[in-house]
Amino acid sequence: MHIHPLEKRWAAISLLLVGTLGGLIVYTAVAMSIHPPSNVEAIDSTRLHLTPEFSEENLGVKREKDGTVVARVVMARFMVVPHEITVPAGVPIVLRVATPDVVHGLHVAGTNIGTQVVPGYVSQVRTTIDFASVARIGVRNADGSVTVPLFCNEFCGLGHQSMWGRVIVTPK
């Protein structure tokens, strides 16, 4: 069988490209330990509702014994539980998010909160919300707090667009 030299060359180039990209994946996984963002903490996603931390009654915002404010959220197709959380601005907060099904993305408008939520892992974000930046884009409430939306920003299925919630930020 005769293969045209030009065709041979392009076949070699495309094989080289595939090899390079495959090699990069292996390299980043092994040498750079690329892992789900923010936190390497495994959890059994199929039994999320049975874990003490992500059971329904434990979700939402709590002040831990050491004083840190921790918000626990479950992102599932196609909702965010709880639908609304209230967090203070100007103090360090911790967001802990898990999913029982597929990959979701968490984004809170007006803040730097943005993480993938990968099944099998707990995604954790440590941040301090700047009240001025949420006030610029959020809706001001009668009590002086500001409401900003929370979105799923990773396509997760046919109900992806209905995965949203509210974050009420209280001034310091």
Applying CB under 6 A, which residues contact ligand CUA?
A: 75, 104, 152, 154-156, 160, 163
Minimum CB–partner distance for residue 103 and ligand CUA (Å):
8
Taking alpha carbons only, the member of 165, 123, 63, 12 closest to residue 115 is 123
Other CB atoms within a 10 A radius of the CB of residue 112 amount to 12
Minimum CB–partner distance for residue 168 and ligand CUA (Å):
21
Cβ-based nearer residue to ligand CUA, 88 or 165: 165
* 8 Å CB contact between 170 and 90: no
Minimum CB–partner distance for residue 156 and ligand CUA (Å):
3
Cβ-based nearer residue to ligand CUA, 97 or 154: 154
Minimum CB–partner distance for residue 104 and ligand CUA (Å):
4
3-class SS of residue 161: helix
* Distance, C-alpha 105 to centroid of its chain: 4
Minimum CB–partner distance for residue 60 and ligand CUA (Å):
19
Separation CA 84–CA 73 (nearest Å): 10
Cβ-based nearer residue to ligand CUA, 128 or 153: 153
Cβ-based nearer residue to ligand CUA, 95 or 154: 154
Annotate 115-137 with three-state secondary structure.
Answer: EEECCCECEEEEEECCHHHHHHH
Cβ-based nearer residue to ligand CUA, 71 or 80: 80
